Amino acid sequence: MKIGMLGYPKVGKTTLFNILTGAHVAVDRFATGKSEPNVGVAKVPEPRLDRLSVLFKPKRTTFAHVDFLDIQGLQKGDASSVDLKEMRNVDAIAHVVRAFRDEAIPHSEGPIEPRRDIATLETELMLADLEVAQRRLERLELNIKKAKNKEDELELPVVRRCLEGLERENPIRELDLSEEDLRKIRGFAFLTAKPMLLIVNCDETDAP
């Protein structure tokens, strides 16, 4: 499994990436102008596999693992300027949301409002998907006019539903699409079709 991590700048995203993967990436790396994502691997502990390994003594024991991708911070208006290509290749998205208060680390939007940040970045992902869906719909309509193709004709209504949903500000994961519908659009790797995990970075005093 591959999980992509996103969030506003300075929300603790890279710190979490380091904790999960055991990496030692500088937390201000993206602030220096570097845009290449951080890539790391987290091994998934499995006590049962440990016991089986001791019992059967195989030459090699392979544990499950999760690949993590940590991209540069996103904020309002970044959908068209930040390269989200790498994020389209992940299986799920982890959105790290800031809820902690620290006057030394000002938020680019002003007050700390987690719900606002969640909605804002969801909108940015929808805008990125909207551009992909619009281009694909135009191409399908053109192809069908030139030469009728059964696969294109079946794909067209699914892409149109995705486009209409995005225009209504509904992420694709919330649309009522069948497994067959999802198969038809899998190649476009829509960001809002991926499962979304929200991780709230709060003050220690607010932790449950």
Q: Give the residue among 208, 201, 4, 20 at the shortest CA–CA distance from 96.
A: 201
Q: Give the residue among 189, 193, 200, 165 at the shortest CA–CA distance from 94.
A: 200
Query: Tokens for 1?
Result: 């499994």
Give the pLDDT confidence score for residue 208 in this predicted structure: 64
pLDDT band at residue 44 using 50, 70 and 90 as cut-offs? confident
What is the fold of 2-206?
DNA polymerase; domain 1 (1.10.150)
Instruction: Please determine, for residue 169, whether its predicted confidence score (pLDDT) is greater than 70.
Output: yes
Whole-angstrom Cα distance, residue 33 to residue 23? 20
Whole-angstrom Cα distance, residue 49 to residue 156? 46
Query: Tokens for 61?
Result: 């024991």
Instruction: Please determine, for residue 173, whether its predicted confidence score (pLDDT) is greater than 70.
Output: yes
Measure CA 175 to chain center.
Answer: 18
Residue 25 to residues 14, 29, 90, Cα–Cα distance (Å): 7, 7, 20
Give the pLDDT confidence score for residue 54 in this predicted structure: 80
Where exactly are the structural domains of the chain? 2-206
pLDDT band at residue 64 using 50, 70 and 90 as cut-offs? confident
Q: 0.85 exceeded by the pTM?
A: yes
**Helix (H/G/I), strand (E/B), else coil: 36:** coil
First to last CA, the chain: 28
Identify the bridge partners of residue 13 per DSSP, sorted by sequence position: none
Instruction: Provide mean pLDDT across the span 65-91.
Output: 88
Looking only at the bridges linking them, the beta strands covering 196-201 and 92-98 are parallel
**Mean pLDDT score of the chain, rounded to an integer?**
90
Instruction: Provide mean pLDDT across the span 74-93.
Output: 86
* Crossing angle for the helix pair 114-146 and 150-167, to the nearest 10 degrees: 150
Instruction: Please determine, for residue 77, whether its predicted confidence score (pLDDT) is greater than 80.
Output: yes
- Return the beta strands (E) in the chain as ranges: 2-6, 38-43, 65-70, 92-98, 196-201
